[in-house]
Structure formats: structure tokens, C-alpha cells
Amino acid sequence: MTKLSVNINKFATLRNSRGGNNPDVVKAAIDAQRFGADGVTVHPRPDERHIRYADVYAIKDIITTEFNIEGNSQEQKFVDLVLDVKPTQVTLVPDALGQITSNHGWDTIRHKDYLTQIIALFKKAGIRTSLFVDPVIAMVEGAAATGTDRIELYTESYAHEYAASPEKAIVPYQKAAIRAHELGLGLNAGHDLDLQNLQYFSRNIPHLDEVSIGHALISDALYLGYENAVQLYRRQLQ
């Protein structure tokens, strides 16, 4: 079964909007695992507007499943954090400074030399690596050339087109998934996957190892309850 990693950034956003420690981000990580998630994802940014670097260290102490840290490896502070914490997986995302949310994958051809170097650094430390990429065959092939362990398909376009035509929306992702498998890459996916589109995606994408979901799951949890939301999302992957 495809693994579900819960991105808990939104808990930190809510906490930071008021100050103090409510909601408790560490407890959110503990509960995600207790409620059935296969992993926890965080995406610290340089301005610490949601997950703080101190949160990452605190969460590392309580992880019993997989720990995935996403971020921009062009920030030295991020690189140092990952090498110190040594999560299960690091997902490299080409974010710009101050970007609200991730909105594109790597150009793995243009940035091949840089990505090859930084991936080798993380892999030497025993950390599984994943590159955030668009569902474009050339970018998948470029990712394989960097030595990365996995890719994470950026699924915003799938989510956007799903309502009009699921069959059309899924095609580039199917092709990218098949090519990734041929090249020996593991396959993750994330961004705007939700209870409406997740099951169709997971049933039609071969070799899907993991999905990382945060915004939609936490939004649903406001109405459904956190434990129930985690279970409902896992059910879509069965």
C-alpha cells in the first residue's frame, strides 16, 4: 500500500499566528503517527513562518515512523539542519525566498551539476533523497542522472484538471511514473491531493511509494477531526 506522510506545517502556521504553543506541533507529529500515518513531513523555510528549525529537532526525538524534511537545499541553513537531524528522507524543492507554497519542480537538466553534488552529500550521510519534479519525461530522466533515490511528482496540475477529466489529468503522471520505474527511481507525489482526487490517483499511478499531504488533510480535520481525517486519507490508498 502507498504510504501516507502527513505534512504538519499548518499546525505551526496556526500556532505562530497567536504565539505560545497551541496547537503543539510536536503533539501533532505524535498524533499523526498514533492515528495511522506512515510518516511525518515538515517543510521549514528560512523565515520560519510555520515550522521552525527548533521544531524539527523536537520532532526528530519522537519519530517512530518515517521523517521527511522538505526544503530548499540552496539555503545552507537547511543543508546543515538536514545533515544534523538525519531524517529518513530529504525532499529537495526549488523554492524561492518568501514563496508562499511550492509551485514548480526542478529543472533537472539545467541544475544537474548542482543537484548531483548536493544529493551525493545527503546520500553519504545515509539520507534517502527525493527531487520535486513536474510530470515531464525529460525532467524525470534528468532526475535519474543526478543519482537521486526518488522523485516526488508535483500534482497541482492533476488536482486542477481532475474535476473536468480525471482520465486526461492522470495521463502525464502515468507516463512519468512508468519512466521513473524504468530508471530505477522510487516514486512519491504531493500537492493539492485531497479526499476527492487521491483514490483515483493512487489506483492509476503504478509503483507509487508515498504521498505527502498537509493542507487538505488539516483543512478536513477542522470538520472531521484529526484522527478521522488521517484514517480517511489512508483508506483512499488501500
Residue 137: helix, strand or coil by DSSP? helix
Is 1 within 8 Å of 237 (Cβ atoms)? yes
The residue from 43, 50, 66, 210 that is catalytic is: 43
The residue from 50, 66, 152, 191 that is catalytic is: 191
- Would you say the C-alpha torsion 220, 5, 73, 182 has a positive or negative sign? negative
Strands 150-154 and 186-190: parallel
- Segment 219-227 long-range contacts (CB within 8 Å, at least 24 positions apart): 219/10, 220/194, 220/195, 226/28, 226/31, 226/32, 226/35, 227/31, 227/35
Is 43 one of the catalytic residues?
Answer: yes
The residue from 66, 70, 152, 210 that is catalytic is: 70
Instruction: Residue count of the chain, please give it.
Output: 238
Strands 128-133 and 150-154: parallel
Report the alpha-carbon distance of residue 85 to residue 104 in Å, rounded: 26
Catalytic residues: 43, 70, 191
